[in-house]
Structure 1
Amino acid sequence: MTFDPPLIPATLVRRYKRFLFDAELATGERITGFCPNTGSMLGLTAPGSRCYLARHTVGPTRKFSHALELVEADGTLVGINTGRPNRLVEEAIAAGLIGSLGQYAERRREQKYGINSRIDILLRDPLRGVAYVEVKNVHYRREAGLAEFPDSVTSRGAKHLEEMGDMVEAGHRAVMVYLIQRDDIDRLRICRDLDPAYAAAFDRAMKRGVEACAIRCKITSHEIRAESLVPVEEACLNSVV
């Protein structure tokens, strides 16, 4: 996926109130913009970090003309926009990067399932049946080469894991895809110390037959694309085939 129009380089001043950030443009102008990430963004909000912004036309549904897209951390660019992963995973499925998921005849987004939930990607095929694909955005790193999820407590994420297990028990296929928006990673681990409840829900889901995989992205200031699968460090893991 190419950034079009091109991103604007800037320096991050601060991120606050979950949806807002301040930055300084190359011209010296200070701006306030929209941060498309409601999570903690742990490790990605240091003042003075180099960042890249998307430029939009202000209108009835858009208050700010700038949106935060990339932040430089640990010497690499990290994608922070949580609106990107679903599209990137769709592209990865279509390109055949995720096992047999690309062999399903029909692919739909945001379909209702479970209890007041929507599945990110629903796959259907006359021969293969139905596959529920849940996508999680990942960018947290505190050890070289290791991505971790989640970076804060996510009761919603734990609920999704339980519902995915329900889909397996109903006779369908369910796949967790962890989309890592950085390219300095060679493996992923569930972050048990920051959210033990999510880790427990993950373990239950794996035992019930939910599959899981992690995809590393290649990121430049011009484009972001799903690059390759990386292993998930879990002994009871059901790998995607």
Structure 2
Amino acid sequence: MAFDPPLLGGVLLRRYKRFFADVRLDDGRELTLHCPNTGSMLNCGEPGSRIWGSVQPRPGRKLPGTWELVETAPGVLACIHSARANKVIEAGLQAGLITPLADYPQWRREVRLPGSNSRFDFLLSGAGECVVEVKSVTLAVGEGVGAFPDAVSLRGQKHLSELVEVLASGRRACLLFCVMHSGIERVRPADEIDPVYGQLLREAVQAGVEVVAWSVIPGPEGLRVAGALPVEL
């Protein structure tokens, strides 16, 4: 998945009010870019970090561009644009690259099931149906380990309970960690940040919810679906 328009490099000056990032581009311009991430961005928002963003001013847009990537260590990149996770996973489904879910020829996005107040990221259909909820992982905690969430996530806890309900309806249920960080080699729940989420995740797995992690390698040119990563519970 190529970035369009191409990204420009720079340095992060500060992130504030969650959605604003002051940056200095390599050409010397200082701009405020949109920060498309509602999480804490733990270990991904240090001032002075090398960043890449798109700059595309247009009428009616408040900010001139969007922050996309950050270098968290020398040569290690993370994509902080959390909405990219669903788009790159959809591209992976189309190409048959997400092998545990490759047997479903059809899918719909943002589906609300009967009796549910929430929308699920994907409903796959074919020989049966599978509900898929995607979570973006960018928190690296050392030694190749990634953790989710990076802040207490009541929404994430709710999604786990709803995936268990999906199983009761006779559908397959899958939680997919989309790991958009080139330094992460395996994933675990961030019990030190949200112990309730970790507990609910393990209970969901015991109930039959499938949990998979898929590596997406970010680079200034684009995002590349790489392959499965182990999930440690």
With normalisation by structure 1, the TM-score equals: 0.92
The answer on whether the counterparts of 1:177 and 1:215 sit within 8 Å (CA) in structure 2 is yes
Q: Distance in 2 between matches of 1:228 and 1:56?
A: 32
Corresponding letter in the other structure for 1:21: A
1:94 aligns with 2:119: no
Instruction: Identify the residue that residue 175 of structure 2 maps to in structure 1.
Output: 176
Asked if 1:203 corresponds to 2:199, the answer is no
Partner SS for 2:158: helix
Per-residue CA deviation, residues 33-67 of structure 1 (Å, 9 max, x unaligned), is: 1100011000111111110011223333x311111
1:40-189 → structure 2 map (5 Å cutoff): 40-60=40-60, 62-75=61-74, 76-113=76-113, 115-125=116-126, 128-189=127-188
Matched residues, number: 231
Cα distance between partner residues in 2 of 1:179 and 1:211: 14
Partner Cα separation in structure 2 for residue 55 and residue 144 of structure 1 = 34
Amino acid at match of 1:16: Y
Partners of 2:5 and 2:56 within 8 A in 1: no
Q: Which residue of 1 aligns with 2:228?
A: 229
Q: Which runs of 4+ in 1 moved over 4 A?
A: none
Query: Once the 2 structures are TM-superposed, how far is the Cα of residue 147 of structure 1 from its aligned partner?
Result: 0.7
Does structure 1 conserve the Cα–Cα contact (< 8 Å) formed by 2:77 and 2:183? Answer: no
Give the Cα separation in 1 of the matches to 2:182 and 2:45: 18
Distance 1:64 1:187 in 2: 35
Distance in 2 (CA, whole Å) between partners of 1:90 and 1:196 is 30
2:5 aligned residue: 5
Please, which runs of 5 or more residues in structure 1 have no aligned partner? 235-241
Identity of aligned residues (%): 39
Check 1:21–1:8 CA distance in 2 against 1; reply closer, same or farther (3 A cut): same
User: In the alignment, residue 2 of structure 1 is paired with which amino acid?
Assistant: A
Question: Equivalent residue of 1:193, what SS?
Answer: coil
| Range moving further from structure 2, 189-198 or 87-96 | 87-96
Output the CA distance in 1 between the equivalents of 2:33 and 2:58: 11
Amino acid at match of 1:207: Q
Which is worse superposed, 92-101 or 19-28? Answer: 92-101
Q: Residue 191 of structure 1 aligns with which residue?
A: 190
The code of the aligned residue for 1:9 comes to G
Q: Counterpart of 2:123 in structure 1: which amino acid?
A: L
CA distance in 2: counterparts of 1:96 and 1:189, whole angstroms:
25
Which deviations, in whole Å up to 9, do the C-alpha atoms of 1:103-140 show, x marking residues without a partner?
21211100113632111011111xx2110000000000
Structure 2 length-normalised TM: 0.95
1:169–1:208 CA contact under 8 A, matched in 2: no
1:238 aligned partner = none
Shift of 1:100: 4.1
Q: C-alpha separation between the residues in 1 aligned to 2:83 and 2:5?
A: 17
Equivalent residues of 1:186, 1:231 under 8 A apart: yes
1:156 alignment partner, SS class = helix
> Deviation of residue 23 (structure 1)?
0.4
Which structure 2 segments of 5+ residues have no match?
none
CA contact (8 A) 1:120 1:133 kept: yes
C-alpha contact (below 8 Å) 1:97/1:229 kept by paired residues: no
